[in-house]
Structure 1
């Protein structure tokens, strides 16, 4: 495994305008990318060395994009409500 040089990380933080940045901050991004790529939480728990699933969820912050596949899983069709006014318009 390649180690990250602190000087390289500091230069990257300065160039990106993200200051202060610690290597540990990237753990959140790493975990989120895993979840969004479909890595099961229990697998990520082992990969990241977390003791509880709650800690995995704390680190794996997600945007709403991963929910897009499930939004239209069910269909909702509203029923139109007939009123006396709408019946009059149909008769006219």
Structure 2
């Protein structure tokens, strides 16, 4: 326990010395520090890496509508290209128009 507490104190002192050296812009003291640079977890760089800038395109209603339009036009062209089958258009009963309603 005592050894862990001493290590924590030493690390805290090193971080404090590093922070003071950064504030004073003392590059020699920063390079001598065993901990290296201080980790600033809430810091976000103004220059983002390329991987952070390339977000995938959002899926929108406009994209869906355009896709639906393309599919509908393709189906319509396919139906127009097919030959018209007159047997499918014939009535089921031959005297359908002679019946009285």
Q: So what's the TM-score if we normalise by structure 1?
A: 0.33
Larger radius of gyration: 2
Q: Decide which structure has greater helix share.
A: 1
RCO comparison, higher one (Cα < 8 Å, 6+): 1
